Amino acid sequence: MLIWIGRLGAGLLVLVLLAVLAMALAPRFLDRIYYRGPASDHFDGERFFNPGERPSGDRRGFSFFRFLRFAFGMDRAPWPKRVPVAQAVPPSRVEGQDMRATWIGHATVLVQTQGLNILTDPVWSERASPFGFMGPKRVADAGVAFGDLPKIDVVLLSHNHYDHLDLATLERLWKRDRPLIVTPLGNDTILRTRGIEAVARDWGERVAIRPGIEVIVERVHHWGSRWGADRDRALWGGLTVTLPGGNLFFAGDTGWGDGSWTLGVAANGPHRLALIPIGAYLPRELMRGSHVGPDEAVAIFRAIGAERALGIHWGTFQLSEEGIEAPAAILAEEIGSAGFAADRFRTMAPGGVWEVPRLGT
């Protein structure tokens, strides 16, 4: 028994040393330049950063050994290996001011309104990882089979993490539909490696879709990386779609930060529907800078003045330590405590459909 424990300890030590070595050597061959441009209040000429925070992230309070516990899943709540999903079959179009939202899973939502099919951070791959054999694996199938997707007109792509920027899925969409892909600066460079075209914009910049409808890239509080060494070489953001019947806001991934970024989003209202992340928030000492929990999600909802919201970024890939149902359960409690009606900020199972009420109803 003692020999077995000793071998296990030696094996863990080797893994730790290999991880440290990989981090030390990574800049030599895994760094990438995705964007070149003038310095700004969130770009130092080489890397992007959240205003008021040190470039490449504020790591105060970061514990290497706490990170190892997180990386090895030592404090993770148990998740099921698979959950049943009742897949939806969306209509080809939804016209006029009617709005239909289908949660496909994680940060992927199909929003249909004004004759447009809008898809957020499309991920149909089995793993949120650069590797097909390891990394976070789905516990829930996509809420819509890829073959049942209507023709997609617009893709809102928030940033370059693997659970949001899935090149395999984007390549399938591009070959099939040639959608307009709008994303923050630098992510278009990644897409072009697969022959995919995208329109990249800075925070506050706009992309016209048609008269009265445009996409605004919004500031949020996050970071970006594909390989570690390329951290913050591409920008992250939320996206607002201006619509005659009230706007759509997609937060992508975000932490709360100092909350000042919500002022810009609020100024681009009124928001009929906000897609706000509620999961992947534990442990807080590692996640608070990049992922809000349900309590902060309600704070975002209140700050931007959205009419209604859908909780996303939970229940699909196990990326953190909370239980699979915890984000939805805690959100319901927080919404009640904040004095909002339960249908103002809700969750659904993958494949769930919401006929979103009109503004003021």
Contact indicator for 313, 277 with CB cutoff of 8 Å: yes
Separation between Cα atoms, residue 258 and residue 244, nearest integer Å = 31
pLDDT of residue 6: 40
pLDDT of residue 329: 98
Least confident stretch, 13-17, 116-120, 287-291: 13-17
Q: Would the pTM count as exceeding 0.85? A: yes
Contact indicator for 109, 275 with CB cutoff of 8 Å: yes
Sign of CA dihedral 325, 328, 334, 339: negative
Calculate the average pLDDT of the chain: 92
pLDDT of residue 68: 72
pLDDT, tens digit, for every residue of 56-101? 544 455 577 777 777 767 788 999 999 999 999 999 999 999 999 9
Say if residue 263 is exposed, middle or buried (CB neighbours under 10 Å; 0-12, 13-18, 19+): exposed
pLDDT of residue 22: 58
Contact indicator for 85, 144 with CB cutoff of 8 Å: no
pLDDT of residue 29: 61
Separation between Cα atoms, residue 142 and residue 176, nearest integer Å = 18
Which positions ≥6 away from 60 have C-beta within 8 Å? Answer: none
pLDDT of residue 61: 54
pLDDT of residue 7: 45
| Long-range contacts of residues 131-135, Cβ cutoff 8 Å, at least 24 apart | 135/162
pLDDT of residue 297: 99
Q: What is the CA radius of gyration of the chain?
A: 20
* Torsions phi, psi for 210 (to 5 deg): -165, 170
pLDDT, tens digit, for every residue of 272-285? 999 999 999 999 98
Least confident stretch, 2-6, 37-41, 320-324: 2-6
Least confident stretch, 57-71, 163-177, 229-243, 321-335: 57-71
Q: Which residue has the tokens 């249908």?
A: 343
pLDDT band at 15 (very low <50, low <70, confident <90, very high): low
Contact indicator for 154, 234 with CB cutoff of 8 Å: no
Of 200 and 24, the one with more pLDDT: 200
pLDDT of residue 150: 99
pLDDT band at 137 (very low <50, low <70, confident <90, very high): very high
pLDDT exceeds cutoff 80 at 289: yes
Other C-beta atoms closer than 10 Å to the C-beta of 264 total 17
pLDDT band at 26 (very low <50, low <70, confident <90, very high): low
Contact indicator for 293, 330 with CB cutoff of 8 Å: yes
Q: DSSP class of residue 183?
A: E
pLDDT of residue 62: 55
pLDDT band at 11 (very low <50, low <70, confident <90, very high): low
Separation between Cα atoms, residue 12 and residue 20, nearest integer Å = 12
Least confident stretch, 22-36, 148-162, 207-221: 22-36
The edge-to-edge listing of strands for the beta sheet with 199-201 is: 199-201, 180-184, 154-156, 116-120, 108-113, 99-105, 353-355
Q: Pairing state of beta strands 116-120 and 154-156?
A: parallel
Structural tokens at position 92: 């080809």
Share of the chain above pLDDT 90, in %: 81
CA distances from 64 to 19, 70, 229, 285 (A): 11, 10, 17, 11
